[in-house]
Amino acid sequence: MPSLKTLRNRIASVKATQKITKAMQMVAASKLRRAQVAAEAARPYAVRMGAVLSNLASTLGGADGAPALLAGTGKDQVHLLLVCTADRGLCGAFNSSIARLARDHAQRLMADGKEVKILCVGKKGYDILRRLFPRQILDVFELRSIKQIGFVNADEIGQRVLSLYADGQFDVCTLFFAEFKSVITQVPTARRLIPAEVGGEAAAAGGAGYEYEPGEEAILADLLPRNVSVQIFRALLENVASEQGAKMSAMDNATRNAGEMIRRYTLQYNRSRQAQITKELIEIISGAEAL
C-alpha cells in the first residue's frame, strides 16, 4: 500500500492536472463560438459556388468542351488525398477519425490497383499516416504558427494542388476533413475536389436557368480554380470549429476523471491515515497495559 506521503503527492499532482484541463476547457469554449460562426458563415458561400458550377456544367452539353478541372483527365488511376487535421492533440478522437477515414480510403484504392498520393494539412494527420504510407506522402502543411485561418492559407494549399494537377501528378483529388455539427458531434467527411462535384447539395441550392456573359467556358476557367481554394477554406474552418468542440469535450471529460481520481485517492489516504492512527493507539494501549 502506498505511504501517506506518496498519496499526498498523487493528490496534489492530480489537482494540478485538473486545474490545467479546466483552463484548457474554458479556452476551447471561448474559441469555439468564434470558430463556429466562421464555419457556418462559409457554408452558404461554398454551397452557392457549387450551385453555380453545377448550373454552368449543365449548359455545356457534354464533357468534350468542359475544362479539365470539371471533366477530369479521363483516367482514374492516380488519386491524391488531401487530409486536413489539426497541428495539436488533446482533442479526443478528432484527428484519428479523419486519418482513419483517409487510411481506409487509401487502402481500398491500393487494393484496386490504384496509385495513391497524400498531402497532409496539419501535423497530427501526418504523424498518423506516415507510419502506414511513408512513400505516398508528398508534403505536409503546418498551421501551428497561424493564429487565425484565412483564405490566403487555403489558397496556398489550393495552388499546390492545382500545380500538381497541371503537371499530371494525379487524376482525382479527394478532400478529408471533419464537418462540425455540434460540440459533441464532428463528422469525418470525404469530398471529391477534382474533378469538381456537381449535383447533390449544390444542385439543390439552385435549379433556375441563367444566361451568362461572357460565355460559360470563360466563367468556368476563373471559377474552377477558385472553387478548389474555397472548398479547402471551408474544410479548414470546419476543422477549426470541430477541433475546439472536440477539445472542449475531451478536457471536460479529463476534468471529471481527475475529480474522480482525487476522490478515490482522498478516500484511500483517509483510510490509510486512520489505520495508522489506530495501529499507533493499539501500540500505546498495549504498552500501557504491559506496564
In sequence order, what E strands does 149-260 have? 172-182, 185-194
Looking at 84, 91, 120, 173, which residue is catalytic? 91
Amino acid at 232: I
Which residues is 176 bridged to in the sheet?
Answer: 83, 190
Q: Rounded to a whole number, what is the largest CA-CA distance in the chain?
A: 113
Closest-CA residue to 75 (of 163, 3, 161, 171): 171
186 within 8 A of 239, measured Cβ to Cβ: no
171 within 8 A of 76, measured Cβ to Cβ: yes
The burial of 102, by beta-carbon neighbours within 10 Å (0-12 exposed, 13-18 middle, 19 or more buried), is given as buried
The grid coordinates of residue 32 equal 469555439
10 Å Cβ neighbour count for 34?
13
120 among known catalytic residues = no
How do 172-182 and 185-194 pair as beta strands? Answer: antiparallel
Q: Going by C-beta distance under 8 Å and a sequence separation of 6 or more, which residues neighbour residue 221? A: 67
How do 115-121 and 78-84 pair as beta strands? Answer: parallel
| Cα–Cα distance measured from residue 190 to residue 102, given in angstroms and rounded to the nearest whole number | 8
Query: Could you list the active site residues?
Result: 91
